[in-house]
Amino acid sequence: MYFATLLTSPTTPSLDPALVESLRNAWGGGDANWLALDEAAEFALEVMPDNRWDVWSDLQNMGVDLVILPTEGRKKKMLLADMDSTMIQQECIDELADEAGVGERVKDITARAMNGELDFEGALTERVGLLKGLDESVIAKVLAERITLMPGGKALLGTMKANGAYAALVSGGFTAFTAKVAAELGFDENRANTLLTEGGKLNGDVGRPILGREAKVQALKEITDRLGLAHEDVMAVGDGANDLGMLELAGSGVALHAKPSVAAKCEIRINHGDLTALLYIQGYAKTDFA
């Protein structure tokens, strides 16, 4: 058994009941259950439709996301999340680079690294090198003035944790940012890279070992082992090439507003919804949100 979930942007909810009914009838699905008026609906399916991706593509043009997941194990016991462009709306290194006057150069490297065109570790050390000499106090300034949470994050964390889930934030970014974001959203733990400083200024290097793609996979393995959970119990979410390992290993790997090359390799693609989409696809209704 499966559940098909259709959802749209919470800021402009426009999910047409006629569209839901049409698809439900075409696929021989069960009765539609509205998880949020005009925003998210689901119905049961006995088999995975052959034309799933064709329909997905058509719905994308209408501003609607479609996710089909097995009924069994749908509600997850752990959330493993990337930070930059996933739990926050920015890439923290790009924001630091703007302050250092090397914004455009660093943004180009970031985009290519997240699209899988560059080696993550090499791209990170190159970008951090361009920040050499930046006053350490700029980190607090960027956190206060430039970093905003991704919509739906508080509901996602609050609801999953209220239902007994564990939450870990794993980032190829920096501990100075993950510590604040994790505390604000309620993550149980966070892992990231450490910007090295000398005399109150960034020295242009990052602590070793560098937390990249493999470290995110290792985090999933280590935390599930410690908690006595299976990889199937995990919902992972990210947007960049360095997230692919954990997205592929998790029971549900969500590509959220991801780079096209990343989304193409994921079964769950959210391009219109916000982080609350991760609750809808688990079967939570808006009235269940914490």
Query: Distance between CA 260 and CA 154 in Å, rounded?
Result: 26
Tokens of 46: 């006995």
Query: Distance between CA 159 and CA 156 in Å, rounded?
Result: 5
β-pairing, 234-238 vs 78-81, is parallel
Query: Distance between CA 249 and CA 254 in Å, rounded?
Result: 11
Find all residues with CB under 8 Å of 89, minimum gap 6, and list them.
147, 148, 149, 150
Angle of helix 153-162 versus helix 175-185 axis, rounded to 10? 60
The residues annotated as belonging to the active site are: 82, 84
